[in-house]
Structure 1
Amino acid sequence: MSDSNTTHFTIPSTFILLGIPGWEAAHVWISIPFCIMYIIALLGNLIILYIVKIEHSLHEPMYYFLCMLAVTDVVLSTSILPKALSIFWFNDREIDFSACLTQMFFLHCFTVVESGIFVAMALDRYVAICNPLRHSTILTSPVVAKTGLAVVLRGGLSILPCPILARQWPYCRSNVIFHSYCQNMAVVSLACTDTRISNYYALFVIFLLTCLDVFFISVSYFQILRAVFSLSTKDARLKTLGTCGSHLCAILAFYIPALFSFLTYRFGHNVPQYFHVLLSNVYLLVPPMLNPIIYGVRTKQIRDRLLHLFTHQGT
């Protein structure tokens, strides 16, 4: 491998991913919890998809959106972890330039998609609680499918300019990325030209889409809380809120690490680089791992079906 710091090029054939800078000696040990989280995420989300497929009582908008979330989580975690594990286990640090931009697109696209799915799920809970008699007529299967398509298109179209812009820049400083995956800002920072348009666009997308999604979720739950507290009995209020518990837990598991990672990356200039990398990996691995656990534990229909599968197989 040549010394890439002294090489001059316009478009590199490959980038070099360092993994977790400064912690190279601990890569194998770090890979163990990462691998466990990935396996749990894969198995958990695939089980959710299987249960919803075979259980006809779960063929409802809420569970269709849950399936979309499960697919998104599988794609999101798979977009980063196999390459990270190849770095940790085999010191395979090279990644093709086009493959790097493809990874960048998928991980950022499906992060936006996941946020959009949470908005759709909040809308579903709003209609189910505030207008239950019209729930089946408003959120029909075609509407759910179109909503899912719109969420995916929004994610793809909003993120597509990032790899397109990154491909236009000349890279004459280095091809070494101080990260375990091709994060947009980590790649663009290697360009030897004015990349403010990339930086401003990335910030615009993050703030606009995230703020809009959080706003719509907040409005939905404000209306839900108004409807809940207008109920006459405490049991009815608790039962109705219980149907939203899984969704709220999943939202917090997604947005809190994402916000913390973003704020640390943008403003934590004194924070060590390895902490940035660890945090950005955790923020992409923990929600895919937690979501099937949250919905499996808190959703009675899924929990009962899962218990039935295991007890039936055990007999």
Structure 2
Amino acid sequence: MQIALVGIGKIALDQHVPAITDSPDWELAATVSRQGSVGGVPAFTDFDRMLAERPDIRVVSLCLPPVPRFDYAARAIRAGRHVMLEKPPGATLSECHALADMARAQRVSLYATWHSRQADKVPGAKAWLKDKNLRRVTITWKEDVRQWHPGQDWVFEAGGLGVFDPGINALSILTEILPDPIHLCAAELHFPENRETPIAANCRFYHPQGAEVTLDLDWLEPGSPTWSIEVVAEEGHMLMENGGGKLTIDGAPDKCVPGLSGEYPRLYSQMADLVKTGTVDIDLAPMRHVADAFTLGKRVTVAPFEW
């Protein structure tokens, strides 16, 4: 199937382009970007022009920041195209619900992707947790924004999510592996005095078994990042590290090898299946927790942030 990639930045070049190129399901038929391009692929700078001139391209993958994503997705759906959304799927929950309604009305597929759910050890963690009595769940997601988003001011602008941009990856894994639903009950968000989104956050969640569930986010972590989920249960101990790339159960490493290698190859394989069946897949659980944090969280002003 032919696909157009919209927004040719670092994530598109590092992850999306290789996944599409190596996939037996896809052909990268066009790109849309004001600046970036992919060698040998027809490049457009105007999205509407691409839609008009390439009716043969039935699928669009959007790698734009959250705020402009709704407008592009809505135009693609109205043009009868299937749409794949980078995380988070929109700037607000309302936008995402609206896109899902549009897609169903137009009978096209819509896929809200959560790439961290496709990490190698997520299935193993989910399988182990399904019948456990939980006592404590500790999520620690710390990294250096200067390394992962160098000079990208949009992450600190309204709608950019701030530290919840990586934090939503942790929440996407958490909502996939926990057998019981949770909801946020308290949060503290640290906003640099010169920025519109938080640079650190601490969150606490209600768990139906009474387990202590906490999330610690920091975007000023020096050195190597920490992306871990630790679970203490009556039956044992689980530690997931490297954003889902490493899993140990009671100190023993999980040795299961997934059938398809890589988060983004798995996403594009799933998108191919959705297009073939005309299915809408838009799970908003990770984004709901972020929205709750912004609604309920105590705002604390901290030192200004400069690149």
* TM-score for the superposition, normalised by structure 2: 0.24
Higher radius of gyration, 1 or 2: 1
Q: Which has more strand, going by share of residues? A: 2
TM-score, length of structure 1 as denominator length: 0.24
Higher RCO, 1 or 2 (CA under 8 Å, sep at least 6)? 1
> Which has the larger helix fraction?
1
